[in-house]
């Protein structure tokens, strides 16, 4: 399936360009069993827990579609690398 970029229904905005938010993006299936597909977004260079510890974000799909502008602080769940160099979300 091809989708034109100008037809996208959501924008995912990182907190810091150096986090590499969106470096990895994956379909997660229906994680919570509500019938809507979910996605995972990676930010492998996020430094909240140490240099390049990384952060992985889960965004749950919903009946109304994707939110228009999704920031890391607005996701449904997140998973942070434990120590420097973990690169969670790679």
3-class DSSP assignment, residue 23: coil
Hey, where are the domains in the chain? Answer: 5-80
Question: Averaged over 61-70, what is the pLDDT?
Answer: 81
Q: Mean of the per-residue pLDDT values for the chain? A: 87
pLDDT tens by residue, 14-56: 889 899 999 999 999 999 999 999 999 999 999 999 999 999 9
What is the model's pTM? 0.83
Q: Does the pLDDT of residue 89 top 80, yes or no?
A: yes
pLDDT tens by residue, 45-58: 999 999 999 999 99
């Amino acid at each position: 399936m091809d989708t034109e970029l100008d037809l996208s229904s959501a924008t995912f905005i990182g907190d810091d360009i150096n986090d590499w938010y969106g470096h990895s993006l994956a379909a997660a299936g229906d994680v919570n069993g509500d019938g809507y597909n979910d996605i995972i977004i990676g930010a492998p260079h996020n430094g909240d827990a140490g240099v390049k510890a990384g952060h992985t974000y889960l965004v749950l799909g919903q009946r109304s579609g994707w939110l228009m502008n999704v920031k890391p602080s607005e996701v449904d769940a997140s998973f942070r690398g434990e120590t420097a160099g973990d690169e969670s979300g790679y």
